[in-house]
């Protein structure tokens, strides 16, 4: 007989441990931590890029301040040339140069305000703005005096007012350059401090996260062990309860079977005997004699039915003759009742069985054959009883529609078969042979069968 290697074991027979799921969750959590760390590192790189942008902006600010300082130096050189007595040009000739420098200086200051990183006080901005405005006012007065021919007064205005204001502006711009450089150094120091703090926080976070993960996993595994210990205890209690229920059922069936066989059987036997005697004392050809004969046949048929029912509830021969003889009597009865041809095979050297084990094995065979008759649609079945040195195997096979192992709703008969197999420390399998149909295979260890013999 060829059987597929895959087993269609009874659904929900084994509880799976969630340890694998917990380990998978731990791996996923660690992966999340790694991803988060990568994200933090990427953020730090972004901060570094931002820092470089700030440095570029600060450089542009410094360039604009140097541009302002260069314009102020150009004004100082122009004023020095204007005061030089050897110059053949009148003072008004420098007006265009002053205007060009003024335009460039205004543009440089405007650009510098746009890129400036240092937050300047309103007083500083007002001082620079007012000083520059005063310088240009004095410059306009100087060139006005020069155009009126008052060269000496114009030179005096340059010495007294313009040069002093230019020196003040140069000092203010130089102070801004120094302040800008100091701010750049402060920003660099603060940025380095932030980087160090973020790095320490990342390390602390990783350590705390890993610690929490390890502790949580250990706790879950411990809780998992406790839960499975409770499940094992509940399973043992369920098994004890099932054993008691099945024992109570068998006791009840045995009692009802004996009552039917002894009480009702004796009563019907007595009724049949009395009807037989009455029939003998009735004259031949009498209508009463025919009626008594008919009633006696009804009583005899009822007696046969009661005896059959008694045997079906609990075969008396199971206690007296054993499992093999009971199966030899039961299988032909099933053939007559269902019309299914049953081939019965026995092999191996038989060994004694306890009455409880024999009952459980008989009930499993009975339920399996009932399933063949009700669900398989098969016209032939095979029953094999095999005695091995260390175990007993019982197989019931048919060539019907087959057993659907994925059916979530299992009948009470399958549940009872499984429970009875567990009560004798055996295993029961529902296999799908390659040629179709269903194979129910029960394997019981010999030591469990010989208990209480």
List the chain pLDDT tens, one digit each, 453 residues.
Answer: 444 444 444 444 444 555 666 677 678 777 777 877 777 777 677 677 666 667 777 778 888 888 888 988 998 898 888 887 676 778 888 888 899 998 998 888 888 887 776 566 677 778 888 888 888 998 888 888 888 888 888 888 888 888 888 888 888 888 888 887 887 777 777 777 777 877 787 787 778 778 877 887 787 788 788 888 888 888 888 778 877 877 787 778 777 877 776 777 778 788 878 877 887 778 777 788 778 778 878 878 887 777 777 766 767 777 777 888 888 888 888 888 888 999 999 998 888 888 888 888 988 998 899 889 888 888 899 999 999 989 999 999 998 887 654 443 456 778 888 888 888 889 999 888 888 889 999 999 988 877 644
227 falls within a domain: no
Contact 357, 444 (CB under 8 A): yes
71 falls within a domain: yes
3-class secondary structure, 434: coil
269 falls within a domain: no
Of the candidates 424, 306, 405, 415, which has an alpha carbon nearest to the alpha carbon of residue 362? 424
The distance in angstroms from the start CA to the end CA of the chain is 33
- Pair of tokens at residue 36: 């988060």
Same-domain check for residues 203 and 322: no
Q: How many CB atoms lie under 10 A from the CB of residue 424?
A: 22
The whole-angstrom separation of Cα 116 and Cα 109 is 10
Same-domain check for residues 202 and 343: no
Of the candidates 373, 326, 364, 366, which has an alpha carbon nearest to the alpha carbon of residue 346? 326
276 falls within a domain: no
Of the candidates 414, 398, 360, 422, which has an alpha carbon nearest to the alpha carbon of residue 1? 398
195 falls within a domain: yes
Number of domains within the chain: 2
Q: How many CB atoms lie under 10 A from the CB of residue 171?
A: 12
Kindly give the pairing relationship between strand 438-445 and strand 391-398.
antiparallel
The whole-angstrom separation of Cα 242 and Cα 222 is 30
Q: Decide which of 218, 253, 270 is a domain's last residue.
A: 218
pTM confidence score: 0.49
The whole-angstrom separation of Cα 208 and Cα 232 is 36
Backbone dihedral angles phi then psi of residue 391, each to the nearest 5 degrees:
-160, 170
Question: C-alpha dihedral over 69, 75, 79, 84, to 10 degrees?
Answer: 90
101 falls within a domain: yes
344 falls within a domain: yes
The whole-angstrom separation of Cα 154 and Cα 145 is 5
How confident is the model at residue 109, as a pLDDT? 85
Domain span including residue 96: 19-218
Same-domain check for residues 47 and 194: yes
Q: Decide which of 218, 242, 277 is a domain's last residue.
A: 218
Q: Decide which of 185, 218, 251 is a domain's last residue.
A: 218
Same-domain check for residues 199 and 61: yes
368 falls within a domain: yes
Same-domain check for residues 57 and 199: yes
Region of 339 please: left (phi>0), alpha (psi -120 to 50) or beta: left
Question: Residue 369 belongs to a domain with what CATH number?
Answer: 3.30.565.10
Question: Residue 70 belongs to a domain with what CATH number?
Answer: 1.20.120
Same-domain check for residues 203 and 340: no
The whole-angstrom separation of Cα 404 and Cα 388 is 30
The whole-angstrom separation of Cα 426 and Cα 243 is 14
For residue 317, give every residue at least 6 positions away whose Cβ sits within 8 Å of its Cβ, in sequence order, or none: 311, 325, 326, 329
Same-domain check for residues 193 and 322: no
Helix (H) / strand (E) containing 73: helix 19-83
CA 118 vs CA 53, 160, 181, 186, 191: distances in Å: 15, 33, 10, 11, 16
């Amino acid at each position: 007989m060829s059987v597929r290697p895959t087993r269609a074991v009874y659904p929900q027979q084994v509880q799976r441990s969630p340890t694998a799921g917990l380990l998978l969750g731990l791996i996923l959590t660690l992966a999340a931590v790694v991803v988060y760390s990568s994200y933090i590192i990427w953020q730090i790189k972004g901060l570094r890029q931002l820092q470089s942008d700030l440095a570029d902006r600060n450089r542009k600010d410094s360039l604009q301040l140097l541009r302002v300082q260069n314009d102020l130096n150009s004004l100082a050189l122009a004023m020095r040339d204007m005061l030089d007595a050897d110059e053949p040009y009148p003072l008004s000739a420098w007006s265009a140069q002053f205007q060009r420098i003024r335009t460039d200086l205004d543009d440089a200051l405007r650009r510098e305000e746009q890129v400036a990183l240092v937050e300047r006080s309103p007083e500083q901005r007002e001082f620079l703005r007012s000083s520059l405005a005063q310088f240009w006012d004095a410059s306009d007065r100087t060139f006005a005096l020069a155009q009126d021919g008052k060269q000496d007064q114009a030179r005096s205005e340059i010495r007294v007012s313009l040069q002093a204001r230019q020196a003040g502006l140069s000092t203010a711009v130089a102070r801004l350059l120094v302040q800008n450089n100091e701010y750049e150094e402060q920003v660099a120091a603060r940025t380095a401090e932030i980087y160090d703090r973020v790095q320490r926080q990342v390390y602390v976070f990783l350590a705390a996260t890993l610690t929490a993960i390890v502790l949580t996993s250990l706790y879950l595994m411990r809780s998992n062990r406790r839960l499975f210990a409770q499940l094992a205890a509940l399973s043992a209690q369920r098994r004890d309860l099932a054993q008691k229920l099945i024992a109570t059922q068998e006791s009840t069936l045995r009692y009802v079977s004996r009552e039917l066989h002894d009480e009702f059987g004796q009563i019907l036997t007595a009724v049949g005997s009395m009807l037989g005697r009455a029939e003998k004392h009735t004259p031949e050809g009498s209508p009463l004699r025919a009626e008594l004969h008919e009633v006696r046949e009804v009583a005899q048929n009822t007696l046969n039915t009661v005896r059959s029912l008694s045997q079906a509830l609990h075969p008396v021969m199971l206690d007296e003759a054993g499992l093999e003889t009971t199966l030899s009597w039961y299988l032909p009865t099933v053939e007559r009742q269902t019309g299914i041809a049953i081939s019965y095979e026995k092999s191996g050297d038989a060994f004694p069985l306890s009455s409880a084990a024999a009952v459980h094995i008989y009930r499993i065979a009975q339920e399996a054959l009932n399933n063949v008759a009700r669900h398989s649609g098969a016209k032939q079945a095979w029953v094999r009883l095999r005695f091995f040195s260390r175990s007993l195997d019982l197989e019931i096979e048919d060539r019907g529609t087959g057993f659907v192992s994925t059916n979530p709703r299992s009948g009470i008969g399958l549940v009872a078969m499984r429970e009875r197999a567990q009560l004798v420390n055996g295993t029961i399998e529902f296999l799908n042979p390659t040629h179709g149909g269903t194979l129910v295979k029960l394997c019981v260890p010999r030591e469990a069968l010989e208990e209480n013999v």
